[in-house]
Amino acid sequence: MQPTSHETGLLLVISAPSGAGKTTLCEQLLIHQANTIRAITCTTREPRDGEKDGQDYYFLDAATFLKRVQAGNFLEHATVFGNSYGTLKSEVLGKLRQGKDVLLNVDVQGAAAIREHAMEDSELQRSLVTVFLAPLSMDVLEQRLLKRNKDSSTTISKRLAVARQEISQWKHFDYIILTDSIESDLLRMQTIITAEKMRQPRVKMPHYE
């Protein structure tokens, strides 16, 4: 009989500077990595056409969101373009306890907040795996941002300045993936997951007679 993984899933936190490919990597993981699901995020923005509460997001009004912040319900939260977003601790723990691997796509500040929570919560600490996706160079990152053809040169310059600050936080992550192609990034991430599931604290050993 082969050893089986512990019932609790992994909390996979992926961060990267804008343009490095973390959203694409997360999408690929959800398609190709069995048992991996995303945590549903809370937001104060209005639902877009076709979006469903509890499926795409948990849509909250600003007052309710603030109350949850004050109550310490969020693992991480941020305000983007005037709208607030946050990941509920209960949402993550609920899925981990079902044995699911929970995927979070967050910036370096969000990852830092999650690490801080994990220091105070042994269940989160056992599950947490942090990965930073880094470009091979700033020139490569600039070319990626230019190819997206979404931002002005001024905005790209600002994004690159922020990216330098974010990349400086690499040493706080468990793993670094120097991004290459979509296929190789996915393979490396799957290798990390496989290795983490075989770590001694996460393996439920069989009973030997």
201 part of a folded domain: no
1 part of a folded domain: no
3 part of a folded domain: no
Cβ atoms within 10 A of the Cβ of 30, count? 12
Tell me, yes or no, if the pTM score tops 0.75: yes
Q: What is the dihedral of CA 80, 177, 182, 18, to 10 degrees?
A: 20
C-alpha of 164 from chain center: 20
166-192: pLDDT as tens digits: 999 999 999 999 998 999 999 999 999
- Helix, strand and coil content of the chain, in percent to the nearest 5, comes to 45, 25, 30
72 part of a folded domain: yes
135 part of a folded domain: yes
Residues 6+ apart with CB under 8 A from 21: 133, 144, 179, 182, 185
126 part of a folded domain: yes
Q: What is the mean pLDDT of residues 55-71?
A: 95
Is the separation of the CB atoms in 140 and 112 below 8 Å?
no
The whole domain housing 107 covers 8-196
- Tokens 């905005």 sit at which residue? 155
Q: How confident is the model at residue 209 (pLDDT cuts 50, 70, 90)?
A: confident
- Number of domains into which the chain is organized: 1
Cβ atoms within 10 A of the Cβ of 60, count? 18
Q: How confident is the model at residue 7 (pLDDT cuts 50, 70, 90)?
A: low
* Full strand arrangement of the beta sheet holding 57-59: 57-59, 41-43, 83-88, 74-80
171 part of a folded domain: yes
Q: Enumerate the β-bridge partners of residue 104.
A: 13
179 part of a folded domain: yes
> Among positive and negative, which fits the CA dihedral 30, 128, 91, 41?
negative
The pLDDT score that the predictor gives to residue 1 is 33
Taking the C-alpha atoms of residue 42 and residue 87, their distance in angstroms, rounded to an integer, is 6
Q: What is the CATH number of the domain that holds 78?
A: 3.40.50.300
More confident residue, 3 or 25: 25
121: nearest Cα among 11, 23, 2: 11
